[in-house]
Amino acid sequence: MTDIPLGTGKQRLGVSDILSDTFSILFGNLFKVLILSMAPIIALVALGALLAVPIFLGGGEPDTIILGLAVIAIALLYFATLYIMSALIIRLAYDAKIGNPLRLGSYFSSTLSVLAPLLICSLATVITSLVGFAFFIVPGLYLMAMWICVTPAIVIERAGLGSLSRSIELTRDYRWACVGAILLMFLCLFGFGIVLNIIEAVLTATAGELVAGIVSIVLNGIMMAFSGIFGALVYARLREIKEGTSVEQLADVFA
């Protein structure tokens, strides 16, 4: 359904090919994907501990205001962690697609260099998408489709705050195809989630909650990496369709 042209003479988005490439990149580079997805999570846990330990070891009941501020801070850190992870995975996806060496160290430095626009634009896309979902599912999905190129535009093109308008332009005339792509991605993630719940239940019963929790974090990291790779390849395909820009040409920005 999502591979049907949106109009006479228009190229297909090619969602099935994007999905196939996503699985290929994910499982062909699984160990490195895990490093990139786990590093921000480990940093988040460490920062969360630094915030929580002084509160609960101070003696007595923690102050409600301080506790509330700590919860807000941890929530913001979690939000930042998700989009930092997404940016890291996008960089890996491009190098893997063109057969370049995977330079994990450079991915962290390049992501930190665009951290401010990444977080500002990500917050804007999340808020507007949630507003869309508040009215109904379809407007929310449409807005998600419109914003699907924001993070890749920041990471690949260094578009900064202009990544919002860049995503609007790239997805124009292809937003319903992108909605179909997002639904297919959600379907895959739903399947992953079922498998994850089964594995977590089995491990909880046989190996204990600690082991189950660790494995759950790893598998959730893989799921988030999957969505990051998928979004990166949708962006690459839209640039190829609209600008004739191949993935190899996109790699020039990394030279």
Kindly state the helix (H) or strand (E) to which residue 28 belongs, with its residue range. Answer: helix 15-28
pTM: 0.81
Does some domain include residue 209? yes
- What secondary structure does DSSP assign to 83-105, as a single string? HHHHHHHHHHHHHHHHT----HH
Q: Structure tokens of 5?
A: 């042209």
Does some domain include residue 248? yes
Contact (Cβ atoms closer than 8 angstroms) between residue 147 and residue 165? no
- Write down the pLDDT at residue 3: 46
Question: Which amino acid belongs to residue 73?
Answer: A
Contact (Cβ atoms closer than 8 angstroms) between residue 68 and residue 51? no
Does some domain include residue 123? yes
Domain, as residue range, for 54: 15-254
Total domains present in the chain: 1
Does some domain include residue 7? no
Contact (Cβ atoms closer than 8 angstroms) between residue 139 and residue 175? no
Contact (Cβ atoms closer than 8 angstroms) between residue 152 and residue 232? yes
Backbone CA torsion sign across 105, 110, 113, 118: negative
Contact (Cβ atoms closer than 8 angstroms) between residue 61 and residue 16? no
Does some domain include residue 34? yes
pLDDT in tens, the chain (255 residues): 444 444 445 788 888 999 999 999 999 888 888 888 887 777 777 766 666 666 555 555 656 766 666 677 777 777 788 888 888 898 888 788 777 778 888 888 888 889 999 999 988 998 998 888 887 888 889 999 999 999 999 988 888 899 999 999 999 999 999 999 999 999 998 988 898 888 888 888 887 777 777 888 888 888 888 988 999 899 988 988 988 866 666 556 544
Compute the distance between CA of residue 8 and CA of residue 6 in angstroms, rounded to an integer. Answer: 7
Kindly state the helix (H) or strand (E) to which residue 177 belongs, with its residue range. Answer: helix 175-206
- Write down the pLDDT at residue 86: 86
Does some domain include residue 1? no
Backbone torsions φ then ψ of 101, nearest 5 degrees: -60, 145
Compute the distance between CA of residue 195 and CA of residue 202 in angstroms, rounded to an integer. Answer: 11
Does some domain include residue 245? yes
Contact (Cβ atoms closer than 8 angstroms) between residue 181 and residue 142? no
Produce one character per residue of 10-22: b if its CB has 16 or more CB atoms within 10 Å, e if not.
eebbbbeebbebb
Does some domain include residue 249? yes
Tell which residue, 108, 102, 120, 92, has the closest CA to residue 231. Answer: 92
